[in-house]
Structure 1
Amino acid sequence: MKTIGLTGGIASGKSMVARVLQEMGAVLLSADKIGHQVIEPGKTAYYDLIDNFGKEILNADGTINRKELGGIVFKDPQKLKLLNQLTHPPIMQEIKLKLAQIEQEQPEAIVVMEIPLLYETRMEKLFDQVWVVWVDRETQIKRLMARDAIDRSDAISRIDSQMPLDEKARRADLVIDNCGSIEETIAKATRYFNNI
């Protein structure tokens, strides 16, 4: 089994690259999806979040309102740090379980794990290679504003809550520049995948 940690910044295009790699045969895992699972009602992190952020973060059906929670933590670095402390250990545990299961069932698999905060959570050691999807800062701001229908200051505060993309690119084994067209990015991702 070969493992690739795929990261980038918010609105850098990593999900699109992840889909391309999946279409080429990679087993795709998403840290965000695992993150959603660990905060479902009944899970330990669910109760930890309510204890620390209050019942205001709940939807009418009792599930966590992630948009409401995001609005709280992206405006306050200490609250974001607390959220990460509560959710990252169970996410890490689940990732390790999933990787072990795939290795057992599909020893020849190429596993791509999409992890937005890979470096911030020091998960790079879990993978054979780290690939970073990179865009320049202005492109990232514009794409995030368009994608989430938010203003420039909101976009900047969300981007600034993550490690700068240039720093992620410096640490990566491989960088996919996503400033051009979708077709160019797909061609790069395809070429890199075929060379694994």
Structure 2
Amino acid sequence: MWLDPFLSELQAGDGLPVLDLGCGAGNNALYLTERGVPVVACDLSEEALKLVSERVPEVRTLVLNLLEPLPFGDGTAPAIVADLSLHYFHWADTERIVAELRRVLKPGGLLLCRVNSIRDTEYGAGQGTELEPGLYESGGRIKRFFERDQTEALFANWTIEALEENVLLRYEKPKRAWMVAARRDWA
């Protein structure tokens, strides 16, 4: 599991929940809950949250639109997981979302995320109409694909502890994504 290297820190959150943003079916929420980490699973889809509630009944769920301010106080989350949920937006929106994640994290808090790689051709990279560098529209949906330098630029105000391009094998075809572990500074 991609969260394994960070598990001890995720477990040391003083009982505060990890925010799982764009939780989908709840794979990360299930993994964390099974290891004693409290989680708030957030998604835009009420259907996805219903599935999470059935799979992991002890997890609190919350309907959340990442384009709106997050309903959490400043510096309240010890960690945030955003697994394949930050790449559906125009660049300016993506920057605002990442700034909002930084606001919600405690000083020294950890953001763990995965975003599409520009080499993820099996899942849409380079396909459709390019709206911005790396952002494609196809079938009425938009999806961003990141180069390494774009990923670094997005987290320029963070301490990047890990940035790796990985191949995920959980789907029908291999999927390429950047894994980022970024820490909010103490200021």
Could you state the TM-score of these two structures normalised by the residue count of structure 2?
A: 0.35
* Larger helix proportion of the pair: 1
Larger Rg: 1
Greater RCO between the two (CA within 8 Å, min separation 6)?
Answer: 1
* Larger strand proportion of the pair: 2
